[in-house]
Structure 1
Amino acid sequence: MLRKSWFWGGAALVLGLGLGWSLAGPVTVFGQNPTPPGVARSLQPSLSPSPVSDAKLKVFAQALALIEEQYPEPKTTKDLVYGAIQGTLGTLDPHSSFMTPEEFRELQIETKGQFSGIGIEIALKDRVLTVVSPIEGTPAYQAGMKPGDQIVKINGAPTKNITLMEAVKQIRGPKGSKVTLTINREGFPQPKDIVITREIIPIRSVKARILDDGIGYVRVTHFQDKTDHDLQAYLKNMKQRLVPFKGLILDLRNDPGGLLDQAVRVADEFLQSGLIVYTEGRNRNQNMRFYARVGQEGRVANVPMVVLINEGSASASEIVAGALKDQKRALIVGTKSFGKGSVQTIIPLEDGSALRLTTALYFTPSGVTINEKGVLPDVVVEDKPLAPDKSLQKLRDELLSQHMRREGLTDKPWNQPITPEELDKDPQLKRAVELLRNWPPKKLAKQP
């Protein structure tokens, strides 16, 4: 059985998908089904500290007692202990963090499929609060948020030294309420304010269209529970409708990730055999290898294929793109992906709080880590650049136009062919179609 793990961005939990925190990669929730028996126990701390750790704990207890007795403002023991844990995790990496019992309960509730928020995945990149990707069709997407945007203020409060959990608390809110994000973007002379209204965010993770000449197009916006099931249904219909089935485009642009098992299953739809991804950590239980299922019926394993990625493709989508590239199954077109390749494990603590701890890195079949490096395309095609000297409203309108052209591709009936006019508005998709119409691409046929 595949372990259910979350690729919550640079460690991102799709916090309400309405706000995804970037958590750095897959996140395994231990202490909840369907965790394999014994795994959670193996990652719990020893109840019998070594003499060295016991001595250090005595120093901590002494400091705690002094603070409680002498600090001018009264502090509860719980607040001091929680603060100490947060400080300890802060010495590790941007993706390890602490959750209070309330925050952990919210995390568990928010993996059900419909959320309240703005629809954005965030990460701490070089200690700066950064947008991984807006989720297609959400308020953040419609407002023109872009992968790589740096959020320098939330409702006027600076985000310097902010934790992901703190950012989540400030950005989230009731449906219909507004949040103001001050963003810094390459080309902006100064940061700009974007006001976004929070909404309930239902996520439809798979969308599809076709081209008249036997080419299918599938877009995966997020990897969640039924992604593989929905993908299989579209592929089955395509195989029946497209005779001959000349090519397939898998669009993973601005896909910030999701469930590990779904990433593996999606990649498995296009592979006849071979390694898909593996993880390595200090604990043996974090060393896992995932393979394509040999002999599986119904696959689309021989149809020429192009995968589209960009800087908003992260985590689970990078696993799929990396596997299909390394196994020489598909050409990768677009721009370098985000580079979220560490594994976060959610470990519940006795009082209902939890650690989100980086425990491993994941690797593509060729042994390359994606963490902070991303997946490199075989064919680099930039999206249409935005002119830096435009007003915020003009930039927003232009971004929205780019977003809407992509969303418009998949909001029409799946069996309605993509038109030449639609292709002209999307240079990356247009290049993918050109490659498939002239398959195999001679100059690229020998590339790894």
Structure 2
Amino acid sequence: MRKSRKLFLTFIIFSSLLAGIFLGSFLVSQVSATKSPTSQYEKIGILLKVLNYIENNYVEEVKVQDLIYGAINGMLSSLDPHTNFLTPELFKEMKVDTSGQFGGLGIEITIKDGILTVISPIEGTPAFKAGLKSNDKIVKIENEFTDKMNLIEAVSKMRGKKGTPVTIYIMREGLKEPKKFTIVRDIIKIQSVKSSMLENEYGYIRLANFQEQTASDLKKALEKLDNDAQKYQSKSNQMKVGLKGLILDVRNNPGGLLDQAVGVSDLFLEKGIIVSTIGRHKENKDIEYAHKSGTWKNVPMVVLVNGSSASASEIVGGALQDHKRAVVVGTKTFGKGSVQQVIELDDKSGLKLTVAKYYTPSGRSIQEKGLDPDIVVEQLDPKILKEEEQKRVGKKQGWREADLPRHFKGEQKEGQKEEENNNKDEETKPEPQLTQEEIIKYDYQLQQGISYLKSYAIFNQMYALPPKPQAATN
């Protein structure tokens, strides 16, 4: 009796699945009636027979839902790494992602060349503080190798309650064997937009990702920076022109919501195409256009990118680059040029399906190729730059008695030697972490971006056209 009930349940589930498939095939046939899907879907009968045989004969009792979810995962594993099935629990977590808060390590991952790879650690998170880097290969999570995991499974294993540890093993260039990292999970609160003023008249805005409020938060940040610049100009008796330049930083930004990438780009473009998305059927083309209202068109811009700028970041960079609205500075971007649609299924599970590829306004596809910056600037280690500056400053200091050749040694009292040794121990301690001000000061790519904005203003003044002579009137 129990088996018959399970078989009936299986029949109901697959009948619903078949009904959905045939309804979908009917709708597709309205677009293209050249293919008859009947023969393809006859093979679903084989799947149903296998399921039935497993239920009746497998050595242990299994849940029908687990078998069906496993079959779906197997089906999707033959597609691209960004197409995934999400169980109800994972689908709920994914919704939390875009709202900007969840529990975990704080890394964005992908599958690259069949290997689970870090796109970028999120600033200020446990993963960032532990020293994980872009392009790190995650070979093992706890005691389980990752070669058979899809993205969703890997994410679920690294997430968990705040304060609980998780151990991952990393391979990176220069390592002979995987390096072990035990990282304590925390609540990951992603502040999508961070801003600050540089040298009183140049704005700096860092986009960590693209979540639900990114475009509106960016607009607020722009208005504040512009007001701050005008206040400074007013105090220093300058003409109130507002921002003289803007750095938009999307380095280590793994992407996010497509509509937010469009909204961010629209803030700086007053007309033309922002991005085109084209699915399997070329006639299903979606084009997003810029709007004149609310455009910040007169502020010179630099967009900073690197190898961890992906997806939505590349949409923004590509749109501003193609329209000659900003100079893109840094290194080649990640190269994710596909668009995913998330579909909620009847049991609250979800399907994340790659449905289209996106193209920049000029028709370029970023997929696999990445975005080439207008000016290539490699990043330098800010700690090394700080050390070099300290050396230069040190050379300018005056001579002391201790620096003179053949100087007398100072007399030591009891206990002084011990204190001296303690001081030596303190000197061997590792350098403290850079402050936020130092991070900006010794960020080589950022400083180069500021220099380009300043030189733009200088050249504008040097080569400004003289006013046209007025026509004489009789």
* Bin of the TM-score, shorter chain as denominator length: 0.7 to 0.9
1:423 is displaced (CA, Å) by: 5.4
> Which is worse superposed, 212-221 or 169-178?
212-221
Distance in 1, Cα, partners of 2:107 & 2:158: 10
Q: State the match for 2:354 in structure 1.
A: 358
Identify if the C-alpha distance between structure 1 residues 212 and 100 changes in structure 2 by more than 3 Å, giving closer, same or farther: closer
Q: Is 1:67 aligned with 2:54?
A: yes
SS at match of 2:24: coil
Distance in 1, Cα, partners of 2:212 & 2:352: 21
Higher relative CO (Cα under 8 Å, sequence separation at least 6) belongs to 1
Q: State the match for 1:255 in structure 2.
A: 253
SS at match of 2:449: helix
> Which is worse superposed, 225-234 or 114-123?
225-234
1:144 maps to amino acid: G
**Conserved 8 A contact 2:382-2:439:** no
SS at match of 1:324: helix
1:55 is displaced (CA, Å) by: 1.6
Distance in 2, Cα, partners of 1:280 & 1:441: 42
Q: State the match for 2:194 in structure 1.
A: 207
Distance in 2, Cα, partners of 1:143 & 1:292: 41
1:308 maps to amino acid: L
Deviation per CA, 1:14-33, whole angstroms, max 9, x where unpaired?
xxxxxxxxxxxxxxxxxxxx
Q: Is 1:377 aligned with 2:373?
A: yes
List gaps (5 residues or longer) in structure 2.
1-19, 28-35, 230-239, 384-429, 460-474
**Conserved 8 A contact 1:435-1:441:** no
SS at match of 2:148: coil
Candidates 92, 96, 121, aligned match of 1:105: 92
Structure label with greater radius of gyration: 2
In terms of fraction of residues, the more strand-rich structure is 1
Q: State the match for 1:291 in structure 2.
A: 289
Give the TM-score normalised by structure 1.
Answer: 0.77
Deviation per CA, 1:130-173, whole angstroms, max 9, x where unpaired?
11111111111111111111111111321112111211221111
Q: Is 1:426 aligned with 2:443?
A: yes
> Which is worse superposed, 314-323 or 212-221?
212-221
Identify if the C-alpha distance between structure 1 residues 190 and 286 changes in structure 2 by more than 3 Å, giving closer, same or farther: farther
1:334 is displaced (CA, Å) by: 0.7
1:357 maps to amino acid: L
Deviation per CA, 1:235-269, whole angstroms, max 9, x where unpaired?
11222332443211111111111222211111111
| RMSD between superposed Cα atoms in Å | 2.7
**Conserved 8 A contact 2:115-2:147:** yes
Deviation per CA, 1:45-104, whole angstroms, max 9, x where unpaired?
348994213421112222222233333333333222221111111111111121223322
Identify if the C-alpha distance between structure 1 residues 219 and 80 changes in structure 2 by more than 3 Å, giving closer, same or farther: same
1:438 maps to amino acid: S
Q: Is 1:148 aligned with 2:144?
A: no
Candidates 339, 343, 353, aligned match of 1:343: 339
Deviation per CA, 1:287-332, whole angstroms, max 9, x where unpaired?
31111112x13x3212211100111111111111111011111111
2:95 maps to amino acid: Q
List gaps (5 residues or longer) in structure 1.
1-40, 388-396, 410-420, 443-448
Candidates 279, 295, 310, aligned match of 2:306: 310
Q: State the match for 2:399 in structure 1.
A: none
2:252 maps to amino acid: N
1:225 maps to amino acid: E
**Conserved 8 A contact 1:129-1:150:** yes
Equivalent runs, 1:393-404 vs 2, <5 Å? none
1:44 is displaced (CA, Å) by: 7.3
Distance in 2, Cα, partners of 1:267 & 1:285: 25
1:211 maps to amino acid: L
Aligned residues: 375
Q: State the match for 1:391 in structure 2.
A: none
1:286 is displaced (CA, Å) by: 5.7
In terms of fraction of residues, the more helix-rich structure is 2
Distance in 2, Cα, partners of 1:200 & 1:424: 29
Identify if the C-alpha distance between structure 1 residues 260 and 441 changes in structure 2 by more than 3 Å, giving closer, same or farther: farther
Identity %, equivalent residues: 48
Q: State the match for 1:38 in structure 2.
A: none
SS at match of 1:123: strand
Q: State the match for 1:77 in structure 2.
A: 64
SS at match of 1:233: helix
Q: Is 1:58 aligned with 2:45?
A: yes
Equivalent runs, 1:168-247 vs 2, <5 Å? 168-212=155-199, 214-242=201-229, 243-244=240-241, 245-247=243-245
Distance in 2, Cα, partners of 1:430 & 1:119: 27
